[in-house]
Amino acid sequence: GDSVTQMEGPVTLSEEAFLTINCTYTATGYPSLFWYVQYPGEGLQLLLKATKADDKGSNKGFEATYRKETTSFHLEKGSVQVSDSAVYFCALRRPGNQFYFGTGTSLTVIP
């Protein structure tokens, strides 16, 4: 069945450090891939998405590229800020179906 495997946390970085959160997936067909972010005390917010192979999703300095050959969708940011501290969820969804989420990676950025 469909599933998402996400790098376990927690991750602690200093401000301006480079961030990578790994995500790989298993799915039949051609899913869309997503990163959602959950700030403390808030709900899930869509951070970025990619709907087909080689697409790059980007938002707020974050990027992820849909790699079909490695079934991956790693999240990156060149220079993190304290305000990026949150839990990040990788997810996939095939057309007309439910979301499958990873377990989430908690990121703490320290000044």
Residue numbers at the binding site for other proteins (CB under 8 A): 32, 34, 36, 42-46, 49, 51, 89, 91, 93, 95-104
Checking DSSP bridges between strand 105-110 and strand 11-14, what pairing results, if any? parallel
Cβ burial of 80 (10 Å; 0-12, 13-18, 19+) is buried
Nearer to other proteins, 49 or 77 (CB): 49
How far is the C-alpha of 32 from the C-alpha of 36, rounded, in Å? 13
Nearer to other proteins, 17 or 55 (CB): 55
Shortest CB 72 distance to other proteins, Å? 18
Shortest CB 19 distance to other proteins, Å? 21
Give CA torsion, residues 17, 92, 5, 60, to 10 deg: 10
Shortest CB 60 distance to other proteins, Å? 15
